Amino acid sequence: MFFQLVPNISITGEVISCISFFIFSIIASAGGIGGGGIYTSVLIAFGSGVHVAIPLSKLVIFSGSFILFCYNIWQKTPQGTPRIAWDLIFLTENAVVLGGIAGAMVNGVLPQWALLICEVIFLIYQSFTMIKKGVQKLKEDLKKFKQEKQHNEIKLQAEDNLPLPTSTNISQPLLSSDAIFEEEEPKVTKLGHLRQINIPRLFNFVFFYLVQLGLTIGRSIVPTCKTVYWVLLTLNLVVAMLATFINYLLTQRSVAKNQKLLLNADINPPYGFWSFYGRFVGISIVAGVVAAAFGLGGGLVKNPMFISMGVPPLATRNVSGAMIAFTSLASLMQYWVQGQVDISYSWVFMLMLVVGFPGGYFLSDKIIKVVKSTAVIQLAMGCTMVVSCVVIMVQLVKEIIEMVKTGVVPSFRNFCNA
């Protein structure tokens, strides 16, 4: 059939799920977050099985993020550089994969209740921190905007009242505060989009991404803990480490040659290369471990870390959106090979995110222009975390009720039987 309901979900549940997908995708994309855990939880709450909900969530996230990626890939910043900070992707994506492999093994061992508790604690802390910083930045930006507006008004009034400048004062500012507010015009590059992307790092990224994708798919179709599985897992780890290290060296080479990195941020290292850019690799590995271990989306973990490292919220959102497309494709291919993806009941949800993801992106841009602050992105991240935390807390309560009824507290699981 061209259209059918998701298995075990009523027509009412499907309609509510679609509306929920659409609304949440707008909020999530504004913060550069995929939100897969929310979509999965909504489907399960209305009766869908885990083996249907998870592949469906990966498919819809990829559909929305891919449309947004195709738009952003040719867009530029006011300075003429690519809107997507490619070097940040090259530097961190393989590191996230490396951490994700380790995190997946942790996820396969910890009991469900322990995972849920860790998720709730993490999200409460991150959401509180992100919203607090977002509100603080919003206040600072609004204050700065008012000061600049007042300065411009005073400057115009002074120019109207003062006599024409003479040879003795022509080089003097009209107001002593001019030096504070006057900024240099941004240097606009006229190079084409692709010519600004470092080809060796791009090739390294694409090549190792495809290799790891093949190894990951291979692990998904062989029995867990068999010899072939461990061989593929070992190769996956080695390739991820090799890819991360090679791109790290390529980045160091560019910095040594004083080549501009496409980070879309003025974050030149105040100390040595290894300690500064190494932190990007380190936090990406940690983000991969935490995201995979707790079953959270990578954006919920790495986006706050990127912002704390000095990457602007806009650049963080655009980078995260592109990385979501890559990671969701890798997960989707695993389920596709296993025959767990069915377009007949997925396309309606895909349509919700195809509209919702770009909608949230453009809506947040409009709001940023109105309020004159990129704190909107941080607040959107915080709201996404709050919603995710509420959904997970509901699951945790259900888990606790089940343990009380049965009197059984699940212990650590066998990874091979997880």
Residues 122-131, mean pLDDT to the nearest whole number: 88
- Facing residues of 221 across strands? none
User: Alpha carbon 160 to chain centroid distance?
Assistant: 49
* Residue-wise pLDDT tens digits, 130-158: 899 889 888 888 888 888 877 777 777 77
Helices assigned H by DSSP within 162-198? 178-181
The gap between the terminal CA atoms of the chain, to the nearest Å, is 34
Kindly report, residue by residue over 285-295, the tens digit of the pLDDT.
888 888 777 77
User: Is pLDDT at 184 greater than 50 in this prediction?
Assistant: no
> Cβ distance 159 to 174 under 8 Å?
yes
Question: How many Å apart are CA 20 and CA 297, to the nearest integer?
Answer: 18
Backbone angles phi, psi at 82, to 5 degrees: -55, 140
Among the ranges given (11-20, 87-96, 191-200), the one the predictor scored with the smallest mean pLDDT: 191-200
φ, ψ for residue 76, nearest 5 deg: -125, 160
CA distance 29 to 363: 10
Estimate the crossing angle of helix 298-308 against helix 375-406, to 10 degrees: 140
CA atoms within 13 A on the CB side of 37: 27
Between CA 383 and CA 378 the distance in angstroms is 9
Q: Is the pLDDT of residue 232 over 80?
A: yes
Each residue of 349-397: pLDDT tens digit? 889 888 988 898 899 889 888 888 888 888 888 888 888 888 888 888 8
Amino acid at 201: R
Rounded CA-CA distance 119/100 in Å is 16
Alpha carbons 286 and 280: distance in angstroms, whole number: 10
> Tokens in use for 59?
């498919």
**Which residues in 290-327 are b (16+ Cβ under 10 Å) and which e?**
bbbbbbbbbbbbbbbbbbebebbbbbbbbbbbbbbbbb
Across the chain, mean pLDDT equals 79
Quick check: 187 pLDDT over 60? Answer: no
Q: How many CA atoms lie within 13 A of 363 on its CB side?
A: 16
Query: Quick check: helix, strand or coil at residue 75?
Result: coil
Question: The tokens 């909020």 sit on which residue?
Answer: 27
Amino acid residing at 314: L
Give the span between the Cα atoms of 205 and 199, in whole angstroms: 10
How many other CB atoms are there within 10 angstroms of residue 209's CB atom?
17
108 CB neighbour count, 10 Å cutoff: 16
Q: CA geometry: angle at 182 spanning 179 and 183, to 5°?
A: 125
Residue 214 per-residue DSSP state: H
Q: Between these two residues, 173 and 73, which has the higher pLDDT value?
A: 73
Q: What is residue 408's predicted lDDT score, i.e. its pLDDT? A: 83
CA angle 356, 46, 109 (to 5 degrees): 95
Structure tokens that stand for 189 in this block: 């590059």
Tokens of 53: 């909900």
- Cα angle at 309 between 35 and 142, to 5 degrees? 80
Q: What is the mean pLDDT of residues 275-300?
A: 77
Partnered with residue 76 across adjacent β-strands are: 82
β-partners of residue 384 are none
